[in-house]
Amino acid sequence: MSLKFGTSGLRGLSVDLKGKASAVYATAFARHLLTSGQTKAGDPILVGRDFRDSSPDVSATCIAALKKAGLTPLDCGTVPTPALALYGLSLKAGALMITGSHIPADRNGIKFYRPDGEIDKQDETAIAALAADAQVGEAAAGQVQQEDQGDEDDQQVQPAGAVHGPGQPLLHQRIEGRGRQARAGHQGQDQDEGETKDHAASLQRREGRAGCVTGPYGRHRPRIGAQASNADAAAT
């Protein structure tokens, strides 16, 4: 199997990650958080994904496995990885991000976040050991079988905004809010640039009458040669 921990998270071929493998690693991560005291049964855990073809399947499998492991998965949908990480920190909740980052399209991965940030190498070792445990594998295999049978209980997953009440998930509200702020900033910048250009044009006209021209980098210098002669002729 191609799956292994790399620079940031678990990576491998999409065909290897889909199904039992993603359930195994999601279950192992949940158990690691629970046994290390970083989270407790029933706590929320976020799950986000990118736009790769395999990401929805991997995400659904992880969500079901996390629920079976005793946590409360919150589906954040397709979001930027940094947004999911920041949201997890704000909630003090663990998180899984299904993303292949920059690797080829036939591959995918899972990034794991503790309530206080991304996992380290010691966490990776613990998660990998749990993933190799026979009991974890059996639990994951049972989870995949239930998912294939359409277990209704596993389909009732809360949206990311559930911990803050009904309505649109708060994470998406925050992302859209930042987008509106950025767009407003660009509009203000465009307006400022337009006013600056108008001012510069006016300044150049005044400088022309005063016998100056604008040089490189906005510096001013006196007119010389033919320019000075033309200015003198115009003055007389």
Work out the pLDDT band at 99, boundaries 50, 70, 90: very high
Residue type, position 113, single letter: Y
pLDDT of residue 151: 52
Which of the residue ranges 131-140, 155-164, 184-193 would you say has the lowest mean pLDDT? 155-164
* Known catalytic membership, residue 101: yes
Q: Which residue range(s) make up the domain with 231?
A: 178-235
pLDDT of the residue at 7:
82
* β pairing state of 212-214 and 72-78: unpaired
Q: Are 83 and 188 found together in one domain?
A: no
Question: Which amino acid is it at 125?
Answer: T
Q: Which of 2, 54, 101, 202 is catalytic?
A: 101
Q: Over range 185-206, report the average pLDDT.
A: 57
Q: Are residues 13 and 103 in the same domain?
A: yes
pLDDT of residue 6: 87
Going from the C-alpha of 206 to that of each of 123, 225, 226, the distances in angstroms are 68, 19, 19
More confident residue, 194 or 20: 20
- Two tokens, residue 213: 């021209």
**Where residue 105 falls among pLDDT bands split at 50, 70, 90?**
confident
**Domain CATH code at residue 142:** 3.40.120.10
92 plus 135 within the same structural domain: yes
Q: 141: which residues sit within 8 A by CB, 6+ positions away?
A: 20, 23
Do 22 and 118 have their domain in common? yes
How far is residue 179's CA from residue 133's CA, in Å, rounded to a whole number?
44
| Total domains present in the chain | 2
